[in-house]
Each structure stands twice: as C-alpha cells, then as structure tokens.
C-alpha cells in the first residue's frame, strides 16, 4: 500500500512528466518540450521524497508519445509510457492505460532547462536536457 501511495504522489508530482504534442506549424506556439530530460529539482527542494532520492528521466517524442523512467530510493527504474499534448504553454497527457495525469502543467523553457509547474499543487519541477542513459532504458521494467 505504501508503494502505491508513493507512486500516486509521484504521478501527481511528475504527472508530467508526461505530455507535449507536436505543435501545429500554423498556430503560434510557446516553448517546446520535445527532447529527453532529467529531473534536477522539485520546487526549491532537493530531488528526494520521504528521505529517498528520486531519479527521473523523461522523453517527449515528436509523435506525441512520452517515456518516463522513474526510480525512488534503491532498485530498478520503472518505465511509464503514454501520450502528451501541448496547448500553448499547457502540457497535459495520459498514460498508456488511458488514465490522465494527476495534473496539467504550465511549461517554460530556457535552452537546456525545462520547468513544469503543476496546475494542481503549484509545485515547479525542473529538468535539464540530457540523453537518457542506455543502462536506465535497458534495466527498466514496464509499468
């Protein structure tokens, strides 16, 4: 039960973690979230939850899909997939199970930094542009 509660909190916190759709070239757009990202900061706190280190890698693909790799504490990464959409600067998405993220996010981007601010909690999660390591991808188990 504790694991499910922790995952629920992380889904809400990282709910983003998943979702930006390829922008329509005819419509003026805000910042893009396409690329691979690593969580570096949660609001003004370090990247920990309940005293455990949290490691998250996130890939927003141009085709509107996302891949999320998440590990809390020690152990293996878990891989989550789904789709994302970006409407102006509002990011939202659904997991492969069709369940919506716990929140939509306002995004801002400054070169290699992406900030996702939850519409529900106001928490701002900061990501840096980076390639997702192959050992993270290959060792992750699919949720």
**pLDDT tens digit string along 57-96?**
999 999 999 999 998 888 889 999 999 999 999 999 999 9
Q: According to the model, what pLDDT value does residue 73 have?
A: 81
Q: According to the model, what pLDDT value does residue 42 have?
A: 67
Domain residue spans of the chain: 2-142
Q: According to the model, what pLDDT value does residue 90 have?
A: 96
CATH number corresponding to 2-142: 2.40.128.500
Q: According to the model, what pLDDT value does residue 140 have?
A: 92
Which tokens go with 19? 């979702």
Q: According to the model, what pLDDT value does residue 27 have?
A: 38
Q: Which residues of 17-42 are buried (b: 16+ CB within 10 A; e: fewer)?
A: bbbbbbbeeeeeebbebbbbbbbeeb
Q: According to the model, what pLDDT value does residue 30 have?
A: 59
pLDDT digit string, tens, across residues 98-120: 999 999 999 999 889 999 999 99
**Which strand (E) or helix (H) includes residue 129?**
strand 124-129
pLDDT digit string, tens, across residues 21-63: 344 433 335 577 888 878 877 653 445 666 778 889 999 999 9
pTM: 0.70
């Amino acid at each position: 039960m504790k694991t499910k509660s922790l995952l629920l909190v992380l889904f809400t916190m990282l709910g983003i973690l998943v979702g930006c759709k390829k922008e329509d070239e005819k419509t003026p757009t805000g910042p893009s979230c396409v690329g691979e990202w690593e969580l570096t900061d949660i609001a003004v706190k370090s990247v920990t939850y309940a005293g455990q280190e949290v490691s998250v890698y996130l890939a927003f693909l141009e085709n509107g899909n996302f891949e999320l790799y998440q590990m809390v504490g020690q152990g293996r990464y878990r891989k989550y997939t789904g789709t994302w959409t970006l409407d102006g600067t509002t990011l939202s998405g659904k997991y492969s199970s069709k369940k919506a993220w716990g929140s939509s996010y306002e995004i801002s981007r400054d070169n290699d930094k992406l900030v996702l601010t939850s519409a529900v909690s106001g928490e701002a999660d900061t990501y840096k542009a980076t390639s997702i390591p192959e050992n993270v991808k290959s060792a992750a188990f699919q949720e």
